[in-house]
Amino acid sequence: MKRLAPVVLMKNELAFTTRSFTIDTYLGEPQNLVRIFSELDAHEIVVINLGDLNSEMMKILEAMSKGSYVPLHFAGGINSASDAALVVGLGFEKIGLELRSLDLDLPKIQSIAERVGSTSTSASISVVCNNLGDYILWDWKSGTRSSIGLQEAVNALNGSGCGELKVNSVDRDGSGLGPDIKLASQVREFTDLPLVYQGGVKTQADVDFLWSLGIDCVATGTMLSTYGPHKAALAHYPLSDEMELRWR
């Protein structure tokens, strides 16, 4: 069954949408957003933290876990298998790790998969287009392009023990210009792993199309957290009855 997942992205314990990975619309209190999406029966909620996994964040995550009746995915600040185990212990179904460097991040992903299981380990890549039109990885922390190409990254992740791959289009992020279909199709070709796509999704038609390409889960921040021409903060999710019609 295909999934549509709202993304709740936090910085300094406040929720925001992003545009090309820079902070865009302020959405307010993140626990409330998680609760709202859970009540609206979202298929899964992706929680991303742009910061460290400190005790404040752990408290927030614990509250989010208690307040959700749908699966939760957490990414951000996970540096070790024990970090991952801690967050899984709070009740999160999946831990996301960003692949930015093959040397540093692959072993991390492997050790986490061994510790919490591959079904709980999700690897994430952020992708931009270089001048030649090829897809390469983007390192959001340093704000630079890496030399790792898309296929190289996906091949590495195929054997890493992760149970899911999340691909983020930096260019389309928060743009509402529609998803990067070419990127989504390429990744689908390069791997059999369950796939999550995020970036630029605007309408249910975009979601349906990505699902038809074989993407298992469409993740979106802007589409489900804002409304209208003024990008007003408003959390919403298609009610279950409607989702019936769209199930693939």
Partner 1 sequence: MEIVECKRCVMNNTAQPFRVNSEGCNYCTPAILRIKNVLGKSRSDLLNIVSSIDRKESNPHGYNCVVGVSGGVDSSWLLAKAVKLGLKPLAVHMDNGWNSAQGSHNIYKLLSTLGVPLHTVVLDWHQQRRAQLAFLNANVVDVELLYDNALQEVCYSVARQYGIKTILGGNNSLSEGVEVGRNWVWHKWDGVNIRAILKKSRVSSANYPIFSFYRYLVYRYVWGIQWINLLDFIPEFGKEVALAELQRDYQYLPYGNKHFENVFTRFYQGVILPEKFGVDKRRSHLSSQIVRGEITRSEAEALLRLDIYPSRALRRQDIESICVKLGVTEAWLQDYLAQEKGSHRTYMHDPTVNYLIPLYSKAKSVIRQLTSRQSERNN
Partner 2 sequence: MNRVTIIDAGIGNLPSLVSAFNRLDLECKVVSKPEDLKTTMLTVFPGVGHWGQATSRLLESGWSNAIQEYVQRGGNLLGICLGMQLLGRTSEEAEGLGLGLLPMSTELNEAHGTRVENLGWNRVHSPEWSAHDWLGVENGRAFYFTHKYSVSPLNPQQSKLLSTDFPGVIAAVQLDNVIGVQFHPERSGKSGLDLLAKVVEWAEA
- Tell which one of 110, 118, 186, 204 touches partner 2 (CB under 8 A): 118
116 or 137: whose CB is closer to partner 2?
116
Q: Restricting to residues 20-49, which ones interact with partner 2 according to CB under 8 A?
A: 38, 41-43
Compute the least distance from the CB of residue 213 to partner 2, in Å: 15
Phi, psi angle pair for 179, to nearest 5°: -75, 160
The answer to whether 123 and 101 are in contact (CB under 8 A) is no
CA-closest candidate to residue 102, choices 152, 68, 58: 152
Rg, Å, the chain Cα set: 17
The rounded distance, in Å, linking the Cα atoms of 235 and 93 is 22
Q: Decide which of partner 1, partner 2, none touches 164; Cβ closer than 5 to 8 Å per partner kind.
A: partner 2
Taking CA atoms, 171 is separated from 133, 210, 233, in Å, by: 13, 17, 22
Residue 205 binds partner 1, judged by CB under 8 A = no
CA 200 to chain centre: 13
- Provide the mask over 28-67, with x wherever binding to partner 1 is found by CB under 8 A and - wherever it is not: xx-xx--xxxxxx----------------------x--xx
Residue 68 binds partner 2, judged by CB under 8 A = yes
The rounded distance, in Å, linking the Cα atoms of 51 and 39 is 27
- Count of residues making up the chain: 248
Q: Decide which of partner 1, partner 2, none touches 93; Cβ closer than 5 to 8 Å per partner kind.
A: partner 2
91 or 178: whose CB is closer to partner 2?
91
Residue 1 binds partner 2, judged by CB under 8 A = yes
Footprint on this chain of partner 1 (rule: CB under 8 A) = 13-14, 26-29, 31-32, 35-40, 63, 66-67, 227-230, 232-237, 239
